[in-house]
């Protein structure tokens, strides 16, 4: 989900005079975005056309429709037996075209388009296998497996032909002469990038082709608008005074990053992880300090998993968190999102007591946004407020106990205002942020260290 976007450190969420500077990470950059005095009005005029009104001018633009990609004779050396009780993206072998990092992309596969055949041999016609007899298909998530008793034997190669849709992000810009243009992005099944914007233009909006759609709706139109500035409830100097003092004095500081797969983050280069981006910036902020970073992540697990792990196991809470005795624990657990506020208060109060008994200070990160349907969201715009009770519980817990809170959720809720559909940052199409998505944790964390 490598969306190569980044904002200027420490100032990403601030307006510079009346304009918001937005840049693509690494290879592409946005220039000036829409003025804080006006938001572009986008009105659908057809299935694939939109009227843009801004600066006293209206102009209709045509959007290229979503395109299907045809895959022919994708060879698979062996199909596993279909596992009906497995995770929906892991019931069988994924179609390569709809594969994201670790998972497949829901609804990318075009239902009814799959043809499974034997591998052609000489002039003989290949055998066409039958769904429900020889194999089963998870339609929504695009993966399949053979059926026992069918004609596809174990370790028998087959060929797959099918169609699928890709996502795309187009940009609507204002030219120097006041006219509007559409810049088309490159399609990608899970992680489309915004197109590069010429320096002399102004970004007004993006249009998100959200996959295999028949027409545009209001959900796909993302006008650029002002973002709110994040203001932490407690600053580091007040909430973690011992750690802060050591940083100021240039002493050694041991930081433990504790979390789930987002912290373990085996799917990105090490330096892209949120904790590495944070510590790099923290070292710049306190150049004389000697910062030691310790990683402790467990994919697919949560805080209770750690606390229930048996003594001597690789992830035992006492041995691998408490006995490490860091100066500071920075915690991220999107897998705790099942918790209600009362669970947060009960579970985290025990963790807080453990930390304080050992003189360990604590920063809690609110989680990033995950799949919209998992969060009860019907759209990726107008989502400033995180609806998850867990996030509300974290904010209440931090306020009650004076805990430093790095509110990454706040940053994710603002992305649509910058024309960014947040789900395009998820490399697995579910909950694994790319480098830019990870940088939002670092943004929230560094806000704690502002004067």
| Dihedral sign (CA 333, 339, 342, 347) | negative
Q: Where in the chain is the domain with CATH 3.40.50.1110?
A: 236-447
For 149, list phi and psi in degrees, rounded to 5.
90, -10
Q: What is the pLDDT of residue 124?
A: 79
| 314, burial (CB in 10 Å: exposed 0-12, middle 13-18, buried 19+) | exposed
Mean pLDDT by 10 residues, the chain (451 residues): 38 34 32 62 98 98 97 97 96 98 96 95 86 98 98 96 98 98 98 94 97 96 95 98 99 99 96 98 99 98 98 97 98 98 99 99 99 95 97 98 98 97 97 98 98 83
Residue 371 contacts residue 379 (beta carbons within 8 Å): no
Per DSSP, 60 falls in state E
Q: What is the pLDDT of residue 85?
A: 96
DSSP H or E segment with residue 362: strand 361-365
* Distance separating alpha carbons of residues 200 and 174, to the nearest angstrom: 9
* Distance separating alpha carbons of residues 319 and 316, to the nearest angstrom: 6
Angle (deg, nearest 10), helices 435-447 and 274-285: 40
Residue 1 contacts residue 191 (beta carbons within 8 Å): yes
Q: Report the SS3 class of residue 84.
A: coil
Class for the domain spanning 236-447: alpha beta
Residue 5 contacts residue 420 (beta carbons within 8 Å): yes
């Amino acid at each position: 989900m490598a969306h190569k976007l980044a904002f200027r450190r420490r100032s990403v969420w601030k307006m510079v005079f009346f304009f918001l500077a937005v840049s693509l990470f690494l290879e592409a950059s946005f220039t000036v975005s829409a003025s804080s005095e006006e938001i572009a009005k986008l009105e659908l005029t057809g299935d694939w056309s939109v009227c843009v009104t801004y600066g006293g001018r209206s102009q209709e633009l045509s959007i290229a429709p979503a395109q299907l990609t045809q895959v022919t004779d994708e060879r698979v050396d062996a199909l596993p037996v279909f596992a009906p009780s497995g995770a929906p993206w892991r019931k069988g072998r994924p179609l390569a075209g709809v594969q994201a990092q670790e998972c497949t992309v829901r609804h990318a596969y075009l239902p009814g388009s799959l043809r499974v055949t034997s591998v052609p041999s000489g002039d003989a016609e290949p055998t066409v296998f039958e769904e429900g007899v020889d194999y089963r298909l998870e339609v929504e998530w695009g993966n399949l497996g053979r059926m026992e008793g069918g004609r596809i034997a174990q370790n028998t190669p087959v060929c797959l032909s099918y169609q699928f849709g890709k996502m795309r992000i187009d940009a609507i810009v204002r030219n120097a002469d006041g006219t509007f243009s559409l810049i088309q992005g490159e399609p990608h099944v899970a992680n489309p990038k915004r197109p590069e914007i010429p320096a002399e233009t102004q970004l007004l909006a993006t249009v998100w082709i959200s996959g295999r759609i028949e027409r545009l709706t209001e959900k796909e139109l993302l006008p650029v608008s002002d973002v709110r500035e994040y203001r932490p409830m407690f600053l580091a100097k007040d909430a973690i005074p011992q750690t802060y003092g050591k940083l100021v004095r240039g002493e050694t500081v041991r930081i433990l990053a504790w979390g789930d797969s987002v912290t373990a983050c085996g799917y990105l280069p090490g330096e892209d992880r949120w904790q590495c981006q944070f510590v790099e910036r923290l070292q710049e902020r306190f150049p004389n300090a000697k910062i030691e970073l310790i990683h402790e992540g467990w994919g697919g697990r949560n805080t209770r998993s750690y606390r229930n792990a048996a003594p001597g196991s690789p992830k035992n809470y006492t041995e691998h968190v408490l006995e490490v005795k860091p100066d500071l624990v920075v915690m991220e657990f999107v897998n705790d999102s099942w918790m209600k506020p009362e669970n947060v208060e009960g579970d985290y109060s025990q963790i807080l007591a453990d930390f304080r008994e050992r003189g360990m200070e604590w920063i809690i990160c609110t989680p990033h946004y995950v799949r919209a349907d998992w969060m009860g969201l019907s759209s990726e715009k107008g989502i400033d407020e995180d609806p998850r009770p867990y996030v509300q519980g974290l904010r209440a817990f931090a306020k009650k106990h004076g805990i430093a809170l790095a509110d990454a959720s706040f940053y994710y809720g603002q992305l649509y205002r910058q024309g960014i559909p947040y789900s395009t940052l998820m490399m697995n199409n579910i909950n694994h942020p790319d480098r830019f998505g990870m940088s939002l944790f670092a943004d929230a964390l560094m806000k704690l260290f502002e004067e």
